[in-house]
Amino acid sequence: MPNHKYRIMNIVGARPNLVKMAPLIRAMRRIPDLDPVLVHTGQHYDYLMSQVFFEQLGMSAPDYNLEVGSGSQHEQTAAILQRFGELVRQDRPEMVVVVGDVNSTIACSLVAAKERIPLAHVEAGLRSGDRTMPEEINRLLTDAISDLLFTTEESGNVNLAREGVPAEKVFFVGNIMIDSLVHSMDAARESALLAKLELPRRGYGVLTLHRPANVDDADKLRAVLAAMVDIAGELPVLFPVHPRTQVRIASAGIEGMHSWDGERAIQENGVWMMGPAPYLDFLGIVDGAAFVITDSGGIQEESTFMGVPCLTFRDNTERPATIQHGTNRLVGTDPAALILHAKEVLREAGSGQNSVHAIPPLWDGHAAERIVEILHDSLQSGAARSCGAGL
């Protein structure tokens, strides 16, 4: 079949998926007999959560948009199952590629597995051990039904082996999110947001919070933000607010933080709320920060790569390499402990103490090439196998 092109459906749904998918699609486009198709489930749909990422990552518009929008996670998952199921029945790809651990990841994986289409999971094997997180359920189930599992760090290989995934399905390829970061860092340092804020390098902190466990309960949210206001007595803290958190802050009536007007330089300490930051702006502000406080997964990895101290406001992490090798500290979910840790980081920085850190193995900007080579080989040998079977 000399002119045959292998059709691969690549799934994105939520903001971090876009960052992971961009380098993969670029690498697929460089191989002439691959035909990558981009499917957006529409789980994230606001300009600042989706479209601006396409623009800044240089991605072309999705070939299909399932437009599932908001709803409970069950409604979201059900709508994706139904709509992606219909799409796959009409336009049968030879492979489905999913990334990360969001509701779109598991929903599309389930369709692929039941339609008997080879399924590849990028960022496989991460485990927090905490089944109260929707993402943990999504990770466990996606890995259980994937044919090719691409891991980002050593813990992923260990977890998959423990769960009985055959070693020949698992490929340790490194971290694709770091591919995007490496690709974007020069542009990020030119960020318009960074320029407007006029904050000195290492003279401010960055905060992100969006996990249901931290933001959905008004009292817990109030307590962590009160701790942040305390920490921000020492330096300005930039807080790009996720839509989920925006709604919770408004309904809990939380005060004591400033809203940045989008224009003026910041000259006062305190917590400065702003809308969700576009990708390049976000990387730009993290790169110059004294610390990041977060409950996100990806930011633990990005800060490790950039060498910026990260305090993770959670009781567990599915990304232990960021602690073993990198700059991440797991501070738990006690606001008092968060204050102590943040002040310690500032003291260390003030006394010129730099904690020793390294970049985890294979976080080198080339994960996408490694993944695409393996996908290509697998498609070719799968095609060879099915030709053989027909003889």
Catalytic residues: 210
* 103 vs 191 by CB, closer to ligand UD1: 103
Contacts of 253 by beta carbon, 8 Å cutoff, 6+ apart? none
- Beta strands across the sheet bearing 64-65: 64-65, 34-40, 6-12, 95-99, 119-124, 148-151, 170-172
70 binds ligand UD1 (CB under 6 A): yes
Among 51, 82, 243, 359, which residue sits at the site for ligand UD1 (rule: CB under 6 A)?
Answer: 243
* 45 vs 64 by CB, closer to ligand UD1: 45
Interface segment toward ligand UD1; rule CB under 6 A; list 45-53, 85-93, 308-316, 326-334: 45-53
Contacts of 301 by beta carbon, 8 Å cutoff, 6+ apart? 152, 175, 177, 178, 319, 322, 326, 363
Q: What are the residues facing 95 on neighbouring strands? A: 8
Among 20, 26, 40, 44, which residue sits at the site for ligand UD1 (rule: CB under 6 A)?
Answer: 44
DSSP secondary structure string, 29-61?
HTSTTEEEEEEE--SS-SIIIIIHHHHHHTPPP
DSSP secondary structure string, 227-255?
HHHHHTTSSEEEEEPPHHHHHHHHHHT--
* 75 vs 377 by CB, closer to ligand UD1: 75
Interface segment toward ligand UD1; rule CB under 6 A; list 1-9, 201-209, 241-249, 312-320: 241-249
> Distances in Å between the alpha carbon of 315 and those of 230, 295, 338, 345, 364?
21, 10, 12, 19, 28
134 binds ligand UD1 (CB under 6 A): yes
Report how far residue 320's alpha carbon sits from residue 309's, in angstroms, rounded to the nearest whole number.
15
Residue span 296-335 as binding mask against ligand UD1, x where in contact by CB under 6 A, dash where not:
x---------------------------------------
* 49 vs 345 by CB, closer to ligand UD1: 49
Q: What are the residues facing 97 on neighbouring strands? A: 10, 120
Q: What are the residues facing 39 on neighbouring strands? A: 11, 64
136 binds ligand UD1 (CB under 6 A): no
* 72 vs 90 by CB, closer to ligand UD1: 72
Interface segment toward ligand UD1; rule CB under 6 A; list 38-46, 118-126, 165-173, 254-262: 38-46
Q: How far is the CB of 47 from ligand UD1 (least distance, A)?
A: 8
102 binds ligand UD1 (CB under 6 A): yes
Chain-centre distance for alpha carbon 20: 7
Among 49, 232, 330, 345, which residue sits at the site for ligand UD1 (rule: CB under 6 A)?
Answer: 49
Cβ burial, residue 66 (10 Å; 0-12/13-18/19+): buried
Q: What are the residues facing 8 on neighbouring strands? A: 36, 95
Q: How far is the CB of 76 from ligand UD1 (least distance, A)?
A: 6
Q: What is the rounded end-to-end Cα distance, in angstroms, of the chain? A: 16
Q: How many residues bind ligand UD1 (CB under 6 A)?
A: 21
Among 135, 301, 318, 369, which residue sits at the site for ligand UD1 (rule: CB under 6 A)?
Answer: 135
Instruction: Determine the Cα angle at 125 with ends 326 and 9, to 5°.
Output: 110
Residue span 260-299 as binding mask against ligand UD1, x where in contact by CB under 6 A, dash where not:
------------------------------------x---
Site residues, ligand UD1 (CB under 6 A): 14-16, 43-46, 49-50, 70, 73, 101-103, 134-135, 210, 242-244, 296
